[in-house]
A and B are shown apart, each in its own frame.
Chain A
Amino acid sequence: MIKFKNSEITPEKIYKNRRSFIKSVGLGASSIAMSTIPFANKSLASERDKLTSYKDITTYNNYYEFGTSKSDPYRNSQIFKTTPWDIAIEGEVEKPIKLSMEEISEMFISEERIYRLRCVEGWSMVIPWMGFSLSKLLSKVNPTNKAKFVEFESVYDPAQMKGQRYPVLNWPYNEGLRIDEAMHPLTTVVTGLYGKKLPNQNGAPLRIFIPWKYGFKSAKAIVKIKFVENMPTSSWMWASPREYGFYSNVNPNVDHPRWSQATERIIGEGVWAPRVKTLMFNGYGDEVASLYTGMDLKKYF
């Protein structure tokens, strides 16, 4: 495990100041600094741009492996062991591989990627992740022509993850993407946030993040990536197929059967802050809408 010295970690305040400095320098400098950050380039309402605090990002989590309440993951994940950690890439590939976390961090450089996170429950955050495009990792294998989907399997370790001792979901946590979704540059392998190593409660040591989909699509603590021929059944589809579809793209026009998805609350904005309108594809429509041309998104929710 890489140990960070305290001095190496940028305090949140300085981090934020630095960011506002980068922004204030103007287009010339910022276009270089933020060319890899699609969201930051957009001029949206200032609320939507504002980074969620490190505290809220790391203490308000849906991570049922560590418990179903939002504060459980922070409380119950602190002694979770993330070393050693291997990730297998297998299934419909010519030659399956297994990579250790060390190998992965040597192979790929993590960059800052600020993305909005929209939870299916109707709240949102803006998170400065550290990561790289999943396509880079997937390019280490050659999929066979049968491969149509990519399946992600999270770790199963009930001894360390007390939430897994109860059948809340079909463990291990399972998610999936179509290959073109998985290869999209916005689909990110996350290794850190706020310039620090990824905290356990946020899915350490390695998770994915798909900014235009509801949060639960972004599986945490991944141990296996599998190319498959048929559409995988994710854990949430198992739990309630009527409510959670395979695509789960953020879509203000398609309600969850039990609640509206038209608006959202921004985390950390306080009691008197209004709801804001949810954006189609969480605001990433320019980049990803073409993946779904001709598809009835009401049917393929």
Chain B
Amino acid sequence: MIKYFKPSIFILSTIPFLIIIYKIFFNELGPEPVKEITHFTGEWTLIFICLTLAMSPLKKLTNLNFWVKGRRMLGLFVFFYASLHLLTYVGIDYRFSWQPIFDDVVKKKYIFVGFAAWLLLIPLTLTSSQKMMLLLKQNWKKLHSLIYVIAILGSLHFIWLSKTIYFKPLIYFVIITILLFLRVNFKRIFNK
């Protein structure tokens, strides 16, 4: 059972990617396809952020250690979908015309936080291996708590780009807030 846990996570995690590839090939993206790809990859990035953050609370809740075994892979899929999202914006939407992209990053706060979140994902991806974990020792944990910042930035990115309908972005915000809240060690705070 445990043996199949990681491979199944991997296969399941590629499904959204396969869906979007299928939709591009078979022209099933509707009248505004680029926006559709952008939103699709963006939302799956947020979903994978939530899944990654859910693993250690699940471990605590169920007292089962295997949840944490899937965490690294889920985290790598966050980077994967975030990169697809960025690539859609930079490559397909703006065709690598750097001037307007640069303007957007500097002037538009939702793009700024989104881009910042992607940049912060890079060191986490590079240090995701077992080797790096051993090499960085206790710093590894500090570094990887950046995911909390990334999660907040990602959720703000979604809230700030929405026109008037905050419903969906707020759901992600609430989920992420709860997942972060579960990590606060209240005992330590109150016993100080």
A285 within 8 A of B: no
A271 within 8 A of B: yes
B33 touches A271 (CB 8 A): yes
In the bound assembly, the distance between CA atoms of A169 and B165 in angstroms comes to 10
- What residues of chain A lie closer than 8 Å to B103, measured between beta carbons? 260
- What residues of chain B lie closer than 8 Å to A255, measured between beta carbons? 107
Chain A CB within 10 Å, residue with most, of B27, B29, B165: B165
CB closest chain-A residue, reference B99: A262
B32 touches A265 (CB 8 A): yes
Q: Which of B75-107 contact A (CB under 8 A)?
A: 92-95, 100, 103-104, 107
- What residues of chain A lie closer than 8 Å to B33, measured between beta carbons? 270-271
A258 touches B160 (CB 8 A): yes
Given A169-B164, A260-B103, A268 and B31 touching (CB < 8 A)?
yes
B161 within 8 A of A: yes
In the bound assembly, the distance between CA atoms of A77 and B103 in angstroms comes to 40
In the bound assembly, the distance between CA atoms of A71 and B160 in angstroms comes to 23
A259 within 8 A of B: yes
Inter-chain CB contacts under 8 Å: number: 54
B24 within 8 A of A: yes
Given A60-B31, A123-B32, A274 and B165 touching (CB < 8 A)?
no
What's the tally of chain A residues with a CB closer than 8 Å to chain B?
26
In the bound assembly, the distance between CA atoms of A148 and B95 in angstroms comes to 45
Given A255-B107, A274-B95, A275-B94, A267 and B32 touching (CB < 8 A)?
yes
Chain A interface helix/strand/loop/mixed: loop
A35 within 8 A of B: no
A260 touches B163 (CB 8 A): no
Residue-wise interface mask of A (52-85) relative to B, using a CB-CB cutoff of 8 A (1 in contact, 0 not): 0000100110000000101100000000000000
CB distance from A133 to the nearest CB of B (A): 29
CB closest chain-B residue, reference A119: B32
B108 touches A260 (CB 8 A): yes
- What residues of chain A lie closer than 8 Å to B92, measured between beta carbons? 271-272
CB distance from A297 to the nearest CB of B (A): 18
Given A258-B160, A259-B108, A265-B34, A271 and B100 touching (CB < 8 A)?
no
Residue-wise interface mask of A (151-178) relative to B, using a CB-CB cutoff of 8 A (1 in contact, 0 not): 0000000000000000011000000000
| CB-contact partner of B31 in A56, A121, A275, under 8 A | A56
A263 within 8 A of B: yes
Given A258-B110, A259-B108: 9 more A-B contacts, CB < 8 Å: A168-B165, A259-B104, A260-B104, A260-B107, A260-B108, A265-B34, A265-B35, A271-B29, A275-B94
